[in-house]
A and B are shown apart, each in its own frame.
Chain A
Amino acid sequence: MAEVTEQTIANLKRHATILRRHIIRMTHNVQSGHPGGSMSACDLVTALYFHLLRVDPQNPTWPDRDRFVLSKGHACPVWYAALAERGFFPVEELMTFRKINSRLQGHPEVGTTPGVENAAGAEGQGLSFSVGLALSARMDHKAWRVYCIMGDGEQDVGQTWEAAMAGAKFGLDNLTAFVDRNGIQQEGRTEDIMPLEPLAEKWRAFNWHVLSIDGHDFRQILAAIEEAQRTKGRPTVIIARTVKGKGVSFMENKIKYHGAATSDEELKLALAELEVPP
């Protein structure tokens, strides 16, 4: 990977702020959706879509593209925002999110939204789906890679661990998973609902290459992905410590904003905080 310059980091920060503004406006516009988990995953998604993924907005189904799978489907506002900003569809279309006759469904649908690779919403299926993709790439000796973002709430789901075992069994070094470790799920703190710790040790015990990073530090994100790409013989999981609602002070670490949009007043405050750098 090329050296990560200050300019690269500045650009990524700028893109991330733009995506966060979209997330706030999209969910405010329809007064529903899941802003908190979209904002915690935002820097991971930004690093992928604006630095790493080999995708072609003009040809969303290009066979040799990298595959991005969003297992935590409720965070699709950040995916849609990234796809729109990358030119997969017009940015104006973001305001149709969750509305009738829209291409931007409340949870991702394959075939309707250009660039969306997987349907998600029922939690815990994305990593298995990614295992299938990665197996196919390897069978066909293809260089494309699979990146899957899971939520930490999804670590409750049994199928996640079925997929973990399979990924290790098949030695899928073309698969990189992320856990968006924001510590909050729908009804509360993950450690109150169903304790996950020691999470890294769990993944290690499942024979994955495990990296723990600050999920809002672009240098750490890029370095971790680079290490995943270099790791042979097993898949990598990057446990990214994140903050739910990251970027808007009054939303950060608030359980409420898992599934609640901002009010009109909050919208103004949020957008004021999310000033796009020049």
Chain B
Amino acid sequence: MTLEPPWKMESQRGAFGKALVELGRRNPNVVVVGADTTESIKTVDFGKAFPDRLFQVGIAEPNMMSIAAGLAAAGKIAFAATYSVFGSGHTYNVIRQNVAYTKLNVKIFCSHAGLTVGPDGATHQLNEDIGLMRGLPGMTVLVPADAPETAKCVDVAAEIKGPVYCRFSRTDVPTVTRPEDPFIVGKARTMRDGSDLTLVGCGIMVAKCLEAAEVLAKESVHARVINLSTVKPLDVAILDKAARETGGIVTAEEHTVVHGIGSAVASAVAQNHPVPMAFVGVQDTFGESGEAEELLMKYGLTTEKIVEAARAVLKRRQ
């Protein structure tokens, strides 16, 4: 079901940039708008391959988003790509009016999501974008677990009719999926089977859920692990099944627990088959400067915290 550790560490930005060039080759209708981060987010390679199809607008993300919307309104598949804090936070109301409300084919791809941005500090660590974007009617929200999934997000985003938001990391992340694994929008994927409880993760936390399941297995607790790479539309069926079959759920995300995947999962589970839950993620606080791993440790986004949360859920169930 999944690759065994030790996992290779790979760049999601690299995978994004490469997939975008390949998509551009297949589909001349694909255009990209950049905002002074094209080197960093690797859209620069698209610009080199197709100089007439990359539009650099400088440090002007609202402009980037509305220009992408205008291009899409005239029939283009427009990718707007930058760091998440600029591409979703700064531009929220432009996305809302010009993209989501207008139901346009704009694909917002943002790296530098979450704490793992690292030394740049809290101004650049956006832990609120999943909540912002999943609240928008009609927005598809993708959180790829690793580099191969990031590449697949590019392809599926181009297929979707309508707006898409995809967020991923600045740092290299463990590769837990294979290029040949299926990736279907709206379908979560079981990465490890188990019947005692379920760990639901997205992004970099999927690897940590798999590690946590390994730790729990040594305590004879068989945890199921679900990779929630589509946050919206939510795979309610797989979550409902997990609740009924395993009786407890822990969610893990590199995002605030106020309105991230934990809330999404809880809302779905509460309406179908409520079970005890726990939420691993950023606890309603801003981050700070530090190395990625140090930050994950300090803010409790670790394998150990998932294991602890799982034990607590099991205890509450008894």
Contacts and interface: CB of A to CB of B under 8 A. Distances in A.
B97 A125 contact: yes
Contacts, number: 104
A136 B76 contact: yes
Interface in B70-128: 70-76, 78, 93-94, 96-98, 101-103
A132 B73 contact: yes
Given A110-B102, A162-B62, A162-B63, A125 B94 contact: yes
A56 interface: no
A165 to B, nearest CB: 7
By size class, the interface of chain A is 20 to 34
20 contacts: A110-B101, A111-B103, A122-B97, A125-B62, A125-B97, A128-B63, A132-B71, A132-B72, A132-B78, A133-B71, A135-B67, A135-B70, A136-B73, A136-B75, A136-B76, A140-B74, A159-B60, A159-B63, A163-B67, A165-B60
Interface centre among B53, B63, B74 (most CB of A within 10 A): B63
B52 interface: yes
B47 to A, nearest CB: 14
Contact of A165 (B33, B58, B66): B58
B79 to A, nearest CB: 13
B62 A137 contact: no
Given A128-B62, A163-B63, A137 B74 contact: yes
Interface string A152-178: 000000110011011000100000000
Interface of A: 63, 67, 109-111, 117-122, 124-126, 128-137, 139-140, 158-159, 162-163, 165-166, 170
A118 B53 contact: no
Contacts of A118: 73, 98, 102
A268 to B, nearest CB: 37
A124 B98 CA distance: 11
Contact of B101 (A109, A140, A158, A165): A109
Interface string B25-65: 00000010100000000000000000011010110101101
B75 A129 contact: no
A159 B76 contact: no
A111 B66 CA distance: 17
Contacts of A122: 93-94, 96-97
Given A136-B31, A136-B74, 17 more contacts: A121-B97, A122-B97, A125-B94, A126-B66, A129-B66, A129-B98, A130-B70, A132-B68, A133-B74, A135-B70, A135-B71, A159-B60, A159-B63, A162-B57, A162-B60, A165-B58, A166-B63
Interface of B: 31, 33, 52-53, 55, 57-58, 60, 62-63, 65-76, 78, 93-94, 96-98, 101-103
Nearest to B70: A132
Nearest to A157: B62
B262 to A, nearest CB: 30
A124 B102 CA distance: 16
A119 B58 CA distance: 24
Nearest to B65: A128
Nearest to B99: A119
A277 B58 CA distance: 51
B57 A132 contact: no
B62 A159 contact: yes
A84 to B, nearest CB: 22
A134 B70 CA distance: 8
- Listed from nearest, the 10 A-B pairs whose CB atoms lie closest are A132-B70, A128-B66, A136-B74, A162-B63, A162-B60, A132-B67, A133-B70, A129-B70, A132-B71, A159-B62
A109 B138 CA distance: 15
A136 B70 contact: yes
Contacts of B63: 128, 131, 159, 162-163, 166
